[in-house]
Structure 1
């Protein structure tokens, strides 16, 4: 197994990463492992944000909202950071040999546009087209001071490939926070061991269409609070 761990990775994170990679792990255990990894990533991020007065936007794809992103947000808010959420429903597809992930639905809280710190959360970064799509959408209206690209597992070439998709004025703001880098891919693009295939299937969704019909509990709860005038 060609996997390397970052300086942030403890034995606890290694154990949870092993649960993700194990195809025998049931969806409940898998979900909890993602949540715990999110909490630890959030703690690392909170330590890297020097100015706690800066507002934070946490962005994610729909399949990553209820466990990984929830864990990240809980740790950030525990560190007294003001957090807003952007969630995207992406339709992965290939056209003319190119991988794309257009946004078919989105949830953006009002304070997203005022965030000075942008945190892009992804369960695994093998290719970069989903992150590129969502990040491109956000920076059309945001002017963040720092952009954190965050995942439990990334491919070793992902930072270089992502940096090629944006001008230097944007990539100069990039910071990567992850626990493991993998060097091998399957023919379908999944990392080895990665997170044990596509996350949304491991979480119990039938397929991409089923995933894109789903509204995360995180989105529902935060949306309800906004309607009552409560923010957090």
Structure 2
């Protein structure tokens, strides 16, 4: 199962959701691999307080295998860190990374970089499930629709859904989803499901500052509950291996 986490714009909480989802899958016994696919602007290792010796750049350059670059996190998931500030990674062809990830016989959470570059689109098209993160801001909605539109062109039979982040209540998420779903139905001829909503939670920013996973630092908080619900939904509809 390859789950790609995407967004049209930065700053919507995509990486926090990717980390939380990997942790929730680990709690469910899936032993996932979290891959920082934000090519050139990686920060998963920073959010988790890791200090990698090797990273995705080394893997793609053939200097090491995935197993050598992977770090084991105490929360029960593995991390393949990316590399920040790498022009080569930012311009890479995503086909090699797709092939390497497909060789991993386990659940993979791929944190894609924000934007609509060729590599991001290639990686999104290869996913079993594309999770598009959005919030209620008009720019976020516009950019999320752009991601869904291009994904529909690149992978017309691929699965994609929306997660609405930083909501005060679930009704707010339904409104955001309704706007995106209406645009997809009207202009793409397809519906897009609401996969979940992540509520506002002061524990999120506290966890980032502490470089600790949210489900470790605030396991009973509303956002942690929502991330577990998202993981359960994705596992329930996983494509069989």
TM over 0.5: no
For this structure pair, what is the TM-score category when the shorter chain's length is used for normalisation?
A: 0.3 to 0.5
TM-score by length of 1: 0.36
TM-score by length of 2: 0.35
Q: Which structure features the higher share of helix residues?
A: 2
Q: Which structure features the higher share of strand residues?
A: 1
